[in-house]
Structure formats: C-alpha cells, structure tokens
Structure 1
Amino acid sequence: MTILRKPMLRRFTAALAFISLAINTAYANSSQVGIAPVARTTLKESILFAIDRDPSISQQAAQLGIGQAQIDEARSGWMPQISLNGSTGHSQTTDSSGSLKNSAAWGLSLTQLIYDFGKTNNSISQSSAQRDSYRYQLMSTLSDVAEKTALSYVEVKRYADLLQAAKENVQALKNVEQLAKLRADAGVSSTSDELQTRTRIAGMQATVAQYQAALNSARARLAVLTGMQAENYSPVPANLAVEPDSLNRIDYSLIPAVMAAQNMERSAQYGVETAKSQHWPTLSLKGGRTRYESDNRSYWDDQIQLNIDAPLYQGGAVSARVRQAEGARAMASSQVDQARFDVLQKASVAQADWTGARGRMEAGKQ
C-alpha cells in the first residue's frame, strides 16, 4: 500500500467520495460491460473506472441508504401514531344496569409519546452513529478499490519495465555472441566463449518469456478491475512516493476504516444507554373515538387518557439486554484498535517494500 502525503490523502478521499455519490445511483441499475480497448490510460483514470465498475461500492451505498432509513424509523417515535381499527362478532358488556350486546365496533385512535427517559432519543443517536459508520465504510471501500487498482497498475508498469530490460539484455548478448563468433573464426579465441554466450542468451530468453507471462497476467487483472485494456500506461506519479518517516505521521483520524470503527463504537454506546432506559417508564397520551353497533342501539365512546407504562418485572430480560449491549460496545472498541493495527501493518509493509526496492535500484546503478 502506498502511503500518501496528508494533503493529498484529504483531496483524494474527498474526490472519491464525491465521485461515488455521483455514480452509485446509476450503477446500481446497470450491468457491467465488457473490456474496452483504449490507446492510453493513467493511474487516475484507472482508479476512476475501477470505482465505477466495482459492485462492492454499490453495496456499501445501499447500506448507507438503509442507515438513513433506520434514522427515519427511530425519529418516527416522536410522531403521533394514528390507527384505524374495527371488529365484528359477538361482544357483551354487563354491569349493574343490565347487559349490552355489541355486534361490531370501529373507530380511530391516536397515541402521542410524551416522555420515555431517553429511549427514543438514544435510539435516534444510535442509528445516526451507525449511519455515519456506514458512510465511512463506503469511503473505506473506495480506498480499498483504489488501492487494488493502484497495485495492479504498478505491477503492469513493473513487469513492462522488466520485460524491456530483459529484451535489451538479449540484444546485448546477441551482440556479444556475434563478437565471440568473429573472434573464434579469426582464431583469436576458442568457440567456448560463443557457446557460453548462447547459453546465457537462452537463459535470458526464458526470463523474457517469464516476464511476458507476468505482464499479461497483470494486464488482465487490471483490465478486469477497470473494464478497459490499454495499449500504453502512463508513468506512476512521483509524488506518491513513501516518505522516510511516514509511519510516525499517520493521522488515524483521517483513515476511513478507523473512523467507521469509531462511529460503530459510538453507536454501541448509545445502544447501552437505550437498553438501560428500558428500566424506566414511558409516558404517552392516548385518545380515540370508537363507534359501537349493538342490538338495541348504537353509540360513540370517546376517550383521552394519560398512559404510563412502567415495567416492574420481566424475568431479567432488560438486564440481559444491557449486558448484550455492553458486550457489543466492548467488541466495537476492540474493532477500533484492530482498524488502527491494520493500517499500521499495511503502512509498515509498504515502507519496507519501498525501502527494499529503492535499495535494489541503487545497487543496480552502481
């Protein structure tokens, strides 16, 4: 994984987020097209095409929509609940004045939540934090797709350069072979030099074939990711180079995977508060108007009541839900640490690979 400089990381992440919002709706209803040939492409173009093509981005965008719907559902708890009800069949009411037989009833009822000791508000906050986590998961998916594409692009450039160098070595060895043949024909040297050169040419030609196969494989992987097969690939931008002290300057607050885990932890904390609030009563206002059809007369029943629903004993169900929520919070907290660990591990491997590659390149120049 290449470590980007901080300003570039901000611009890159913001650009990817903007692009994803623009393409996800259209892509969700479209099918993937085949691989189109193009004359030339760049790393930036390859990443943009890969984002437009990868189905995991549409999946995360759909998940983000689900998160927003969950917020709307939680907010509806503060809205009036209106329902139409009706029934038919035998119903008899008996009191000191006699009995009344009802054959049907229908009416309208309304319930308005007044206060519930944080149940609804905590549920809204929990859903909002979860929605934010989904948003950062989408950004993390964008980063993952960009990373896969960039690595494939670099592999194509790497094997293309290795193949070109191997071909040049073959040509150089052929020149040496021609010179050795001339020296042998002139009697200046033996034919062993010529035979040795031919052996080296055969070995280098095998290397050429190996690099050609690796290049074809890398081009095929990149073509599947981007949906296009380019004849030429522009050089990788030099400003993507790893800096020597990059590991000491990682800003985890800008890493989408870490931000997603942090918001999921915050959602889990609200889940604990929601579970604890189940110990407290719920205060609501209920009203209704019902029409009763009886054997001898029909009448209306109007009601408006202040209702209190207070749990006294539920067999330990609420306490069990609290423990479950606390366990989920502990898991979410460990996921934050895991996300930071994964980022540091990727960055460490990338820096080690970069240092090794630079060392080999410098050694080759000497």
Structure 2
Amino acid sequence: MLLSTLHVPVVIYAAKPSEQYHTLKENLSQLFVPKSSDDFKVAKMHKLSNFKLDRSIVQEFPTVQLNDNRASSFSNLPSRTMTLQDAVKIAIQRSPDISQSIATLAGQNSGVDVAKAGYYPQLSGGITTGDLSSGERGRQLLTLSATQMLYDFGKVKSGVDVEEAKVQVEQANVLVSVDTLALDVAQTIVNIQRYLQLNKIAEQQIAGIRRIQEIANLRANAGVASQADPIQAQSYLQAAQSALIAQQSLLRQYQQHLRTLLGADVSHTGWIISDDLVKQSDLYGEPEFNTIPKMIAAQAGVEVAKAQKQQTRLTRYPTLAVKGSVSQAINGKNPNNDKDDGLYSSVMLEATSQFYQGGATASQVKMASYAEEAAKAKVNSVYMDVLDQIRTSREQIENKQRQMQVLASRQATTVRTRELYQEPLYTIKIDNSLK
C-alpha cells in the first residue's frame, strides 16, 4: 500500500523534467542557431516600393486623354458565368510557375539564416594520427575547437544584407509571375469574348449574304440585273464561310489555352467583364512605377549589387575572434604539452585579415561596381518598357473607340443601302402580282 502511494507522485513529477528539458533545449539552441524568420512569406509593398525613380533620362511625350465613350458589355452570355478576377485567382492557385517562384523565395530566405550563422559560435572537431614516418604513427589526437567572432567591421552584416536583398528580389519575382499570369488569363478571356462576337457577326454576315444571293438570283431571272451578280454573291458567301472557319479555329485555340491555365473546360463559360474596366485600371492616371512588379524586381537587383559591393570592400578589414580548443592524446604524447595521453586546452584571441591576393579584392570591387551600374541601367530599361506599354495601350484604346464611332455610322449606311437594293425587287413582285 505504501509503494502504491509513493508511485503516483513519482509518475506525475516525471513529466516536469521532460518539459523542462525541451524548454532548456530550445533556449540553448537559440544561442547557437539563428532563428528562421517567416517574414519572407509576406511581400511588404511599403518596403519594396520605397524607392524613387529618376525619369530624367526619358523625354516626356504628350499624354493621350481618356475618351468618355466606352464599349458596351457583351450580351447573351451563357448561364454559367465567371468574373475575370475569379479566373485569375484559379490560375494562380494551380500555376506551377507560381509554385516554383514561391519555392525559390523560401530557399533564398534560408540563405539569410546561413549568413546570420556567422554571428554564432563555430564548432569543429576531428581526429588525427601521428607522423606515419616516425615512431609516433600509433598515436591518435582528438581535437575539439570553437570560434566566436567578436568584431569583423560589418562583414557578416553585409553578407546578411546581400541575402536579404536577394529575398526582396525573389519576392518581386513572385509578384512578376503573378502579374504575368494574370495578364495572360485576362488577354485570353478578352480574346475569347472577341472571337465569340466575331463568330456571331460572321454567322449573321453569312445569313445576309445568302439573302442577297437569293435577291440577286431573282433579279437576274427577272432580267433587271446581270447574270454575274449571282456568281459574285456566291463568291462573297464562300469567302464569308472561310472567314468563319478561321475565326472558329482561333476561338477554340484560346479556349484550349484558357483550359490549360484554369484546369477546366471553359468553352461553355460566360465571362463577365466590367464596362468600366479601363477606368478601374487607372490607365490614364500617373503611373506609380514603384508598385509595378518588374520595376520592384529591377530596383531590388540594384540593392543586391550595392550590398555585394559593400561586402567586397569589407573583405580588406581584419576579423577579431576568440578561439578555444581542447585536445586529447590517445596512445601517445600530446604535441601541445608533450605529455603521454595528455589533455590540453587553450583560449586565445585571433585577428585575421587577407592582406594581398594578387589584386583580387580590387578587381572584385570593380566588378561589383559594374554590376551596380548594370542593375541601374536595367531599372531604366524596365521603366522605358513599362512607359511604352502604357502609352501603346492608351493609343490602342483611343483608336478602338474612334473605330467604333465610324463603324456605327457605317452600320446605318449599310442598312440604308440594303433597303435601296431591295426596292427594285419589291417593284418586280408588285408588277408580277398585277399581271
């Protein structure tokens, strides 16, 4: 009975040392291993976009103004509908390119931990034998050494800065991948809608040409028109049918491409595109270049080049460290104290520096300077590309709006021409009825 009463508290108390052990293990591990950060999982736009762009190298051109006339939305959509934004979300969730970019980002974040490891103690150990050409060849020497950096003029910090700048590059690359995929999805959907309407128009044109062919046959048979008119109408009909086949082929190509992006058949899906999509895109506003993914990536490349340049410069300076070692001889004398099976330990300060490497450091600094200039040039190149795309898009929109106005007037003229063309036929029918 006494043993049973003593057994219970022992079991309850046994769990506490285990918890304390794990807590102690975590605390000790933090002293020797850098704690990994999860900040890379969130792209902080206020930090990524915190730079200014020098636009002085590009001469500004007149800005195209927005026209108030807007294209009407597509009508007669099928019952199954989806918005453009929903399609982009689905494509992003299943895109292997996005997964690859995120995996690369996570891997680069581990590079920051590798650089931060320079702040922590470096432990090494090994075993060596005696001189194999002497009588000490039977000796073994166990050695354990530890080194802790005390001051290095910022060399480890510069390495951390380089890796953190590379993380920003990979974050920007993820945004570029998302932006590119979203553009691909949007353009494909717009083209699907365009060719749906073109196919519908082509079918209407074929029906109209067939009607004209019938009228031409009646006019030719009545003797009020040449026999060439029916043949010409037949030629127009065949050309319209050929154009319809080509447009149907392009429509199916875009549908198959979107099926690849979304992973589902979208041939019977109606796409909802907002009438004020151009206005929402703020295409006619002043571009915020420091929020454009490609511009962010280019600027992050500049920061990487700057950090690498600073890192290279700091290699000229010495590193101060404290170094400790313990050695134990087995089957022989310890060469450090000349004692049989002796144990030897030491603690010392160490200052190391690379004084001369044949001009390698100077060449590396020069190389880093050129890399920085190249990165800055890339920023300017991306700026000009983005500016050109914006101006081209504005001009295309303006041109399409002007075309719509002309085509609307042409439509009214075409309707009136058809009515005038049909009047002689009505006269023939009336004359035949009077007879």
Same fold (TM over 0.5): yes
> 2:105 matched to 1:72?
no
1:273-294 Cα deviation digits (max 9, x unpaired): 1111111110001012111232
Is structure 2 residue 342 aligned with structure 1 residue 305?
A: no
Which residue matches 1:204? 240
| DSSP 3-state at the match of 2:321 | strand
Q: Using the aligned pairs only, state the percent identity.
A: 25
- 1:139 is matched with 175
Distance in 1 (alpha carbons) for counterparts of 2:104 and 2:147: 31
What pairs with 1:159-170 in structure 2 (closer than 5 Å)?
159-170=195-206
CA contact (8 A) 2:141 2:327 kept: yes
Structure 1 counterpart SS, 2:328: strand
- Distance (Å, rounded) in 1 between the aligned partners of 2:357 and 2:232: 89
Match for 1:305: what amino acid?
M
SS at match of 1:249: coil
The CA distance in 2 between the partners of 1:119 and 1:17, in whole Å, is: 27
1: CA distance, partners of 2:363 / 2:281: 51
Match 1:253 to one of 287, 290, 314: 290
**How far apart, in 1, do the equivalents of 2:364 and 2:329 lie?**
41
Which residue does 1:63 correspond to in 2? 104
Is the contact made by 2:220 and 2:227 (CA closer than 8 Å) also made in structure 1?
A: yes
Deviations 1:73-111 (A, max 9, x none): 000000111122221233899xxxxx9998111132111
Cross-structure match for 2:150: 114
Choose which of 186, 211, 224 in structure 2 pairs with 1:150.
186
How many Å separate the matches in 2 of 1:345 and 1:80? 53
Cα distance change on mapping 1:72 and 1:183 into 2, 3 Å? same
3-state SS in 2 of match to 1:276: helix
**Is 2:406 the counterpart of 1:363?**
yes
Contact residue 153 and residue 314 of structure 2 kept, 8 A: yes
**Shift of the alpha carbon at 1:186?**
5.0
Measure the CA separation in 2 of the matches of 1:268 and 1:140: 20
Aligned counterpart in structure 2 of residue 54 of structure 1, from 95, 100, 108: 95
Answer yes or no: is 1:290 the counterpart of 2:327.
yes
Alignment of 1:5-84 (within 5 A): 40-84=81-125
Contact 1:110/1:288, CA 8 A, preserved across alignment: yes
Q: Which amino acid aligns with 1:105?
A: L
Query: How big is the shift at 1:127?
Result: 0.7
Highest RCO, 1 vs 2 (Cα 8 Å, sep ≥ 6): 1
Q: Secondary structure at the match of 2:342?
A: strand
| In 2, Cα distance between equivalents of 1:214 and 1:184 | 38
Provide Cα deviations, 1:174-211, integer angstroms capped at 9, x if missing partner: 22333444445555555544443333222222221221
Residue 291 and residue 17 in structure 1: after superposition, are their counterparts in 2 closer, same or farther (change >3 A)? closer
Q: Is the 8 A contact 1:17 1:142 kept in 2?
A: no
Report the Cα distance in structure 1 between the residues aligned to 2:312 and 2:107, rounded to whole angstroms.
22
2:258 is matched with which residue? 222
CA distance in 2, matches of 1:356, 1:228: 35
What do you get for the CA RMSD once the two structures are aligned? Answer: 2.9
SS of residue in 2 equivalent to 1:90: coil
SS in 2 for 1:117: coil
Deviations 1:149-198 (A, max 9, x none): 11111111111111101111111222233344444555555554444333
Match of 2:395 among 352, 357, 360: 352
- Corresponding position of 2:15: none
Cα displacement (A) at 1:233? 2.6
**Highest CA radius of gyration, 1 or 2?**
2
Query: Counterpart in 2 of 1:24?
Result: none
* Aligned 8 A contact 1:247 1:348 in 2: no
Deviation at residue 221 of structure 1 after TM alignment: 2.1
Distance 2:254 2:282 in 1: 30
When residues 92 and 77 of structure 1 are mapped into structure 2, their CA distance, relative to the original with a 3 A threshold, is farther
Structure 1 residues 244 and 89: CA distance shift in structure 2, 3 A: closer
Provide the C-alpha distance between the structure 2 equivalents of 1:192 and 1:287, rounded to a whole number of angstroms: 106
Secondary structure of the structure 2 residue equivalent to 1:285 = strand
In the other structure, the counterpart of 1:10 is none
Q: For 1:101 and 1:88, how far apart are their aligned partners in 2?
A: 6
Distance in 1 between residues matched to 2:195 and 2:207, nearest whole Å: 18
Letter in 2 for 1:349: T
Structure 2: runs of 5 or more not aligned: 1-41, 45-78, 334-338, 410-435
